[in-house]
Amino acid sequence: MHRRLLAISIFLAVPAVHDGDDQPWLVFKGGEGPGKGKHIVLVAGDDEYRSEEALPQLAKILSQRHGFDCTVLFPIDPSGEIKPDHQTNIPGLENLAKADLMIMALRFRNLPDEQMKRLIDYIESGRPIIGLRTSTHAFNLTGKAYQKYHWQSKEWRGGFGLQVLGATWVSHWGDHGKESTRGILNKDAANHPILKGIKDGDIWGPTDVYEVHRPLPGDSHALVLGQVVAGMKRDDPAVEGKKNEPLMPLAWTRTYRGAAGKAARVFATTMGAATDFESEGLRRLIVNAAYWSVDLEQRIAEKSNVDVIGEYRPTPFGFGTYVKGRKPADYQ
């Protein structure tokens, strides 16, 4: 028994690693766990909700608690620093070529064609995708080659967001910065493996509920509904009136059949700010979704371990609020 406890302690203490301080992305090697042998690429690139802070923490949890190898990519400016509003460069997208899952938190990226090709090759390959918060409006492209993925595409209505994730940007349904979000489980999805260990109210975050067009398209299945909360505290009451009658979809699953002809598992949620990830319930939702995405739903624990790794004090969301002067290695 003592040997077993010692082994567990050593495993949990394994530090995240990267390939060098000058490399513009992070690599977290997975240890033992159900995810061993699976590679997740997490792509940060939004200028409001601090994905550059949330995704490294998520990668640490997935690698150290669950065994997945994780690579985290960032928007990098010419100086080599992380700059969330630098919308034209995310180095390391070639890592997607051998990825088993992509988790993305993008907003209005205008990437060059050679970088977009890496993303599109993955998106159309039939491999699974998890889209967080502003990924519903991930691309605001000026180049012609991939215009159909633009969030306002006329060629492909709703672009990547609507066609792949199942929703595009419509509006803030809750009052942004004044009304927060509480997750209410969809009774029709109570037995879905992604909801294991989660109950009503476990999911809460200071971001507001997004409006999405209803019904969700195709075979989309809402797992969690977003209750608009009349304040910025977890225990504030729900807003009365039409904002919660009925509740907006907050997290859902669907399939997307890309150019390769293979149906990909897709999970999307309109939550995902770094401060939302202080919610244990949201972390569990995303970790469970990662298992489901790579066909490991039978390995989801009754209550997945989603304890944070190290110190996690996320910066509040907002434009220009990111921590200046940081490089990827600073999030190791």
pLDDT at position 6 is: 36
Q: Is the pLDDT of residue 21 over 90?
A: no
Average pLDDT, the chain: 94
Q: How far is CA 275 from the centre of its chain?
A: 13
Name the band, by pLDDT with cuts 50, 70 and 90, for residue 42. Answer: very high
Helix (H/G/I), strand (E/B), else coil: 132:
strand
Q: Is the pLDDT of residue 36 over 80?
A: yes
What are the residue ranges spanned by the domains of the chain? Answer: 2-331
Q: Is the pLDDT of residue 262 over 70?
A: yes
Q: Is the pLDDT of residue 13 over 60?
A: no
Could you read off the pLDDT of 278-293 as tens digits, one per residue? 999 999 999 999 999 9
Do the Cβ atoms of 27 and 298 come closer than 8 Å? no
Please state the rounded mean pLDDT for residues 152-173. 97
Could you read off the pLDDT of 299-308 as tens digits, one per residue? 999 999 999 9
Q: Is the pLDDT of residue 20 over 60?
A: no
The C-alpha atoms of residue 329 and residue 220 are separated, in whole angstroms, by 38
Q: Is the pLDDT of residue 40 over 80?
A: yes
> Where does 2-331 sit in CATH, by number?
3.40.50.880
> Which residues have a Cβ under 8 Å from the Cβ of 112 and sit 6 or more positions away?
88, 89, 143
Please state the rounded mean pLDDT for residues 129-140. 98
- What are the φ and ψ backbone dihedral angles of 273, each rounded to 5 degrees? -65, 155
Q: Is the pLDDT of residue 276 over 80?
A: yes
By CB atoms closer than 10 A (0-12, 13-18, 19+), residue 23 is middle
> Which residues have a Cβ under 8 Å from the Cβ of 60 and sit 6 or more positions away?
16, 28, 70, 308, 309, 310
Threshold 0.85, pTM exceeds: yes
Please state the rounded mean pLDDT for residues 228-246. 97
